[in-house]
Amino acid sequence: MLPTDLLMHRFSGEEIVPKRLNLDTKTLAIAEDLISLFQEAKGNTRGELNRQLQELEGEETDYRIKRGLSHLLNSSFSTFETVSPLDPPMLRERVFALSAQVVPSPQNTQITLDRVAEILSQELNHEVLTEQVRSGLYADLPDNQILTEFETPTPESLIHRYNLSQVQGVFYRASHMIINAHRNDPGQYKLLFRYVKLFQLMTYIEGDPDHGFTLTIDGPTSLFKPSTRYGLAIAKLIPALLHVTKWSLAADLQINDSYAGKKRQGRFTLDSECGLVSHYPPGKTYDSMLEEGFVDRWNKTKTDWRLEREVDLIPIPGSVMIPDFRVVHPDGRTFLLEIVGYWRPEYLKKKFSQVRQSGRDDLVLAVSERLNLEKAGVKISETPARIVWFKDQLSPKAILEVLER
């Protein structure tokens, strides 16, 4: 996504209109030039790349567009690493310690570097060159890091990512958002709700799979303390929404008006005909590393119970519950498994409230011992579900013991 200073929009009445680039010859040429520059910069430092990008920007009026495209190439397609045969912090400690004992001068600097190279050669039992000490001294600073990998996008896909990022930036200052997910394939609902859950959005959900769902989401500026992180979480939901076939949304915004020097109320609408392209995969296998690790361990466990990812939606008042897994036995017994890992207090309270409202007697909750349920106002004794406690990793054996009771 783009930082605030690279977002561009205009107002049409109260409606905010984010900047969009056309897939025309001029724009594609700009994207291609930037991509080529990154390809040629592989193996060079970030500082050298930034200098070349500044030269490419020149003094033309479209410099913010070029800078936005460059930011996306930098943050989404590039890997920068510290490349040094010696640990830079260790080198600085050694060099600074010896430098403090002599009068600063170019001659003494060279003597110090030579001495550090000599000492390290003795300690490491192999030759350390003075130049290795010199080049490694600040190799971990951002400007000195090396571009080691670059996943080359097409010019078209880079422009699509730019347009999407401009729209995502609108939601940094959202106070309220309503999404209408019209009648769709049930799998699309599940994907959307899983992303809502993954990003921990404060959402009220109404509807059913046959008629569609309405999601009411509080934005970051509706909180007692506006949260940039929460605004980013809402923005991250938009690429997931693009995988739903038919939908529409409307958001209320609080925008900083730089001309008037005050906040301005705005509005933004979008629907499934918007033409934006998502870079998210159509389906996301797991919501967290915790779930992924559990599945890996389950697959290595000898058991007749089968672990299934696809689980039916459980409508409850004001929300929808989507358990993480279904566990099925050949004799017909089934259970729904929900892993409650690292959640904030308000979400813990909501989660356990959902369990009580679900009316299900086949739920198993795997709850992390790290969670402060008492602080969240959760009384585990009032939860109509089988409870499994875990520390860092959830053991399949612990789940199986509960299922066989």
- Secondary structure (DSSP) of 126-152: S---HHHHHHHTTTTSGGG-EEEEE--
Task: Determine the Cα angle at 216 with ends 218 and 248, to 5°.
Answer: 120
Please tell me which residue, 107 or 374, carries the higher pLDDT value: 107
Does residue 78 register a pLDDT over 60? yes
- Mean per-residue pLDDT for 134-156? 96
Residues 169 and 67 occupy one common structural domain: yes
Q: Would you place residue 82 in the very low, low, confident or very high pLDDT band (cuts 50, 70, 90)?
A: very high
Residue pair 206/213 in contact (Cβ under 8 Å)? The answer is yes
Distance between CA atoms of residues 190 and 29, nearest Å? 39
- The pLDDT of residue 228 is 67
DSSP state of 44: S
Residues 69 and 189 in one domain: yes
- Stated length of the chain: 405
The answer, yes or no, to whether residue 35 has pLDDT greater than 50, is yes
Domain termination site, one of 208, 237, 271:
271
**146 DSSP β-pair partners:** 45, 81
Q: Is residue 235 part of a domain?
A: yes
Q: Which of 216, 242, 271 is the last residue of a domain?
A: 271
Cα–Cα dist 332/335, whole Å: 10
Question: Is 147 part of any domain?
Answer: no
Work out the mean pLDDT of the chain and round it to a whole number: 87
How far, in Å, CA of 395 to CA of 293, rounded? 10
Return left, alpha or beta for 264; rule: phi > 0 is left, psi -120 to 50 is alpha, else beta.
beta
167 and 127 assigned to the same domain? no
- Tell me what pLDDT residue 219 has: 66
pLDDT of residue 225: 47
- The total domain count for the chain is 3
Q: In what order do the strands lie in the sheet with 363-368?
A: 306-308, 325-328, 334-340, 363-368, 386-390
Distance CA 70, CA 223 (A): 33
Whether 95 shows a pLDDT value over 60: the answer reads yes
Half-sphere exposure of 107 (CA within 13 A, CB side): 1
Report CA 163 to chain centroid distance, whole Å. Answer: 18
Q: What is the rounded distance in angstroms from the CA atom of residue 110 to the CA atom of residue 61?
A: 46
The Cα–Cα gap between 397 and 395 comes to: 5
Does the residue 349 lie in any domain?
yes
Clarify whether residues 215 and 255 are in a common domain: yes
Name the token pair of 83.
């490349």
Check residue 266 and give its pLDDT.
87
Task: Indicate whether 108 and 60 sit together in one domain.
Answer: no
Confidence of residue 224 (pLDDT cuts 50, 70, 90): very low
163 and 59 in a single domain? The answer is: yes
| pLDDT band at residue 222 under the 50/70/90 scheme | low
Helix (H) or strand (E) holding 262, with range, is strand 262-271
Whether the per-residue pLDDT at 384 is higher than 60: the answer is: yes
* Separation in Å, CA 241 to CA 180, 189, 372: 10, 9, 32
**Domain range holding 267?**
4-78+152-271
As a whole number, mean pLDDT of residues 77-93 equals: 95
The answer on 178 and 66 residing in a single domain is yes
- Rounded to whole angstroms, the Cα distance separating 386 from 383 reads 8
| Segment 156-179, tens digit of pLDDT | 999 999 999 999 999 988 888 999
Q: Are residues 393 and 311 in the same domain?
A: yes
108 and 187 share one domain? no
Q: What is this structure's pTM?
A: 0.72
Average pLDDT over residues 265-289: 83
- Residue 284 located in a structural domain: no
Q: What mean pLDDT do residues 205-212 have?
A: 80
Rounded mean pLDDT, 38-64: 93
User: Are 228 and 365 in the same domain?
Assistant: no
Domain co-membership, 308 together with 384: yes
198 and 59 together in one domain: yes
